[in-house]
Chains A and B, each alone.
Chain A
Amino acid sequence: MNPDATYRVETTDDALKGVEEISGLDLLHRGLQLSLRGDYDSAVIVFERLPSAASVSTTH
């Protein structure tokens, strides 16, 4: 995980927002807190690294 990158995090866990953008630094140091409880609970969490501002080309 790159602490300087931003990640789009999508999850099926109820405790988290469906989709949010989180910095790599936050993910490395704070992580994600899930709300899995009891038998047969589950979550899929998708991490997608967003292009950095420097690498996004712009047209005028």
Chain B
Amino acid sequence: MARSARDRERYRPPEKWDYNRNWTEPGWPEAPLADQKKIWVRYVQNLYEILDRLRTKNPKLEIESCSGGGARVDLGILRRSDQVWPSDNTDALDRLSIQSGFTQAYTPHVMIAWVTDAPDWLHARATPLKFRFEVAMSGALALGADLNKWNDEDNALAAKMIALYKRIRPTVQNGKLYRLRSPDSDFSAVEYVAEDAHEPCCLHIFTHSASDGVFLLLSCRV
């Protein structure tokens, strides 16, 4: 369907800064050793300059930086981008630890969290779609799966999860994060609480390994 001129004006495709090949032989032998090392600093300075230029030209441009992509997630890159990609590992179970570590330093607001296909490419681990959604709903939910492979049941679940996420998104992204149980155990839990007591707060619980018959008690911060 053709976009109207107004839609075209509204839609500004986001920019993703990716970087999938690390330097193997940086520098040049003729230069003094101290200068050769400057390439790492110059790269970052030039990256910042390019992003600054893009921002100046189009202030509404959304920029996503890949942690492999910008080769960094830090306050400098966060000043110039809207969201960052914590890891290429999108396996939902691993992601619990990655997200727990990431949010020690940065807000869930900037933490892109994709629902991707299972089995995942790294471990060939098949996690349920609901689990993958609920892990990703702990950050900035996005879809990175092949939707052509989803059946009606998957689509219905996705619609339900996305609708729920839209309700809790302000709390997840801007609320207070409480770590009720670490991912280093058989189950984990995080809770997000809004500043306003009348805004929704939400509790996300995940089992990592079979814990049938175990009585678990969690105290929330509602």
Contact = CB atoms under 8 A, between A and B. Distances in A.
Interface string A3-44: 000010010100000000000000100010010111111111
Contacts of A27: 222
A9 B88 CA distance: 34
Given A44-B164, A47-B200, A47-B202, A38 B212 contact: yes
Most chain A beta-carbon neighbours within 10 Å: one of B92, B130, B222: B222
B161 to A, nearest CB: 8
A48 B200 CA distance: 4
A27 B169 CA distance: 23
Interface stretch (B19-27, B57-65, B203-211): B203-211
Given A12-B134, A40-B207, A46 B220 contact: no
A32 to B, nearest CB: 9
Contacts of B201: 46-48
B202 A46 contact: yes
Contact of B207 (A2, A37, A49): A37
Interface of A: 1-2, 7, 10, 12, 27, 31, 34, 36-49, 51
27 contacts: A1-B222, A12-B134, A37-B207, A37-B211, A38-B207, A38-B212, A40-B92, A40-B93, A40-B131, A40-B207, A41-B131, A42-B130, A42-B131, A42-B204, A42-B205, A42-B207, A43-B134, A43-B205, A44-B134, A44-B164, A44-B204, A45-B202, A45-B203, A46-B202, A47-B201, A49-B197, A49-B198
Interface of B: 92-93, 127-128, 130-131, 134-135, 137, 160-161, 164, 167-168, 187, 197-212, 217, 220, 222
